[in-house]
């Protein structure tokens, strides 16, 4: 039924709609584990194992560093292989990490499993996002991307909820990861090969892509920084404040739920005003919600603030993807999408370590301080872009 409604609302040919549905399903089930579960479970499990909050934040940062480094090689891999291979690596990597973290969080295997899972994340990320934009009709890219990002947000929402229900059951969590991996792999057998548009080779061409799209880099970087920082810090903050992580897990779920349910509104604003203005609006929402978040506690008002901040962060990433998809008049290029993923990853690398370190120093003011700094600096940089 959802596939038929999506097909009807967007008038996409049946064969294309089926391929898009398979990509969305593979990406969704992987997202539940790779970001929804791992970003919260990894620091929480290591902290509960007696390794400390900063150790958990550092390990999550290493997860995203592996994702970042893998981004420099992902194009070459995707150019030579069918989606089955990268999605097989992706599924195997997150299944291994969940098993290691749940059964042996103090073992030496946590580090290599974390790095392997980071590489698996970037492979799935680029192959699925690339196919989404490749398959979407040119006049419907915004709606198709918005639908995909709704599913991605839902996947992140489910992660903290699943940890709250199953987090202490190692067998159940490992089984959940295996189920997600099998579904993604089955979908992969029916996907087309991604078409890799030429973006120029060599370090010089790569550097030019970054400098030519530095506003896109800023937008995606802040999205990754704030989102992953919130997912990793909120449970730890609640555990410090109340003795239990549950309140923080639910706040994290509300945070991502806001971005998920408001994706149609985000897409509408982008269609009417453009993705750059959408990004400016989202930065403004971050500034508005930062200070009240520090004094709101964990009740209804706090949940409302987290909902609004979730809308803002999801809007930032969607704006970055749509800017990349437009290709600034040159058509979509996978190389520009890789910049989006790597920029998001740069933010995600810094976020957990910065958040957990500041949490130790200033307590509940950690997230507001980080949000005010990131959003304020970004607005200033984007204003400079407009004036240049």
DSSP string covering 73-119: THHHHHHHS-THHHHHHHHHHHHHHHHHHHH-TTSTTHHHHHHHHHH
Structure tokens at 356: 């957990």
**pLDDT at residue number 115:** 94
> How far apart, in whole angstroms, are the C-alpha atoms of residue 166 and residue 157?
15
> How far apart, in whole angstroms, are the C-alpha atoms of residue 348 and residue 230?
10
Cα distances (Å, whole numbers) of residue 341 to 17, 18, 70, 183: 24, 25, 11, 23
The 10 Å Cβ neighbour count of residue 222 is 30
- Report all structural domains of the chain as residue ranges with CATH numbers, in order of start: 13-193+201-387 (1.20.1250.20)
> How far apart, in whole angstroms, are the C-alpha atoms of residue 170 and residue 178?
12
Contacts of 197 (CB under 8 A, 6+ apart): 331, 332, 333, 334, 335
**pLDDT at residue number 156:** 79
**pLDDT at residue number 7:** 43
Query: Torsions phi, psi of 321, nearest 5?
Result: -65, -40
> How far apart, in whole angstroms, are the C-alpha atoms of residue 91 and residue 99?
12
* Cβ atoms of 117 and 93 closer than 8 Å: yes
Cα distances (Å, whole numbers) of residue 369 to 39, 65, 81, 242, 302: 21, 24, 44, 21, 16
User: For residue 181, is pLDDT > 90?
Assistant: yes
Structure tokens at 77: 């891999």
3-state SS assignment for residue 1: coil
Any alpha helices (H) in 244-365, and if so which ranges? 246-261, 263-273, 275-295, 300-326, 334-362
User: For residue 154, is pLDDT > 70?
Assistant: yes
Whether this model's pTM surpasses 0.85: no
pLDDT tens digits along 101-131: 999 888 889 999 999 999 999 999 888 988 8
User: For residue 271, is pLDDT > 90?
Assistant: no
Place of tokens 């890799």: 196
> How far apart, in whole angstroms, are the C-alpha atoms of residue 11 and residue 168?
45
């Amino acid at each position: 039924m959802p596939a038929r409604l999506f097909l009807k609302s967007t008038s996409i040919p049946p064969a294309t709609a089926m391929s898009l549905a398979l990509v969305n399903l593979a990406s969704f089930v992987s997202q539940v584990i790779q970001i929804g579960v791992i970003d919260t479970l990894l620091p929480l499990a290591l902290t509960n194992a007696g390794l400390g909050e900063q150790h958990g934040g550092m390990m999550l940062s290493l997860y995203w560093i592996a994702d970042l480094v893998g981004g420099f090689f992902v194009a070459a891999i995707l150019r030579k292989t069918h989606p089955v291979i990268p999605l097989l690596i992706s599924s195997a990597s997150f299944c291994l990490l969940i098993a290691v973290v749940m059964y042996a969080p103090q073992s030496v295997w946590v580090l290599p499993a974390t790095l392997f899972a980071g590489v698996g994340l970037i492979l799935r990320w680029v192959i699925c996002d690339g196919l989404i934009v490749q398959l979407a009709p040119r006049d419907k890219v915004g709606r198709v991307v918005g639908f995909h990002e709704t599913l991605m947000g839902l996947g992140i929402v489910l992660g903290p909820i699943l940890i709250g229900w199953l987090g202490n059951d190692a067998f159940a969590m490992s089984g959940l990861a295996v189920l997600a991996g099998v579904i993604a792999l089955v979908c992969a057998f029916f996907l087309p090969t991604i078409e890799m548009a030429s973006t120029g080779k060599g370090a010089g061409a790569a550097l030019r892509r970054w400098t030519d799209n530095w506003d896109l880099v800023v937008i995606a970087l802040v999205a990754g920084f704030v989102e992953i920082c919130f997912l990793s810090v909120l449970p730890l903050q609640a555990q410090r404040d109340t003795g239990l992580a549950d309140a923080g897990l639910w706040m994290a779920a509300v945070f991502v739920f806001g971005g998920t349910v408001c994706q149609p509104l985000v897409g509408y604003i982008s269609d009417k005003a453009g993705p750059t203005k959408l990004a400016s609006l989202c930065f403004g929402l971050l500034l508005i919600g930062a200070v009240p978040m520090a004094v709101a506690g964990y009740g209804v008002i706090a949940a409302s603030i987290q909902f609004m901040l979730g809308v803002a962060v999801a809007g930032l990433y969607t704006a970055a993807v749509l800017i990349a998809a437009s290709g600034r008049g040159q058509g979509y290029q996978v190389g520009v999408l890789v910049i989006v993923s790597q920029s998001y990853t740069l933010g995600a690398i810094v976020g957990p370590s910065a958040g957990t370190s500041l949490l130790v120093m200033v307590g509940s003011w950690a997230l507001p301080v980080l949000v005010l700094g990131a959003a304020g600096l970004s607005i200033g940089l984007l204003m400079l872009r407009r004036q240049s």
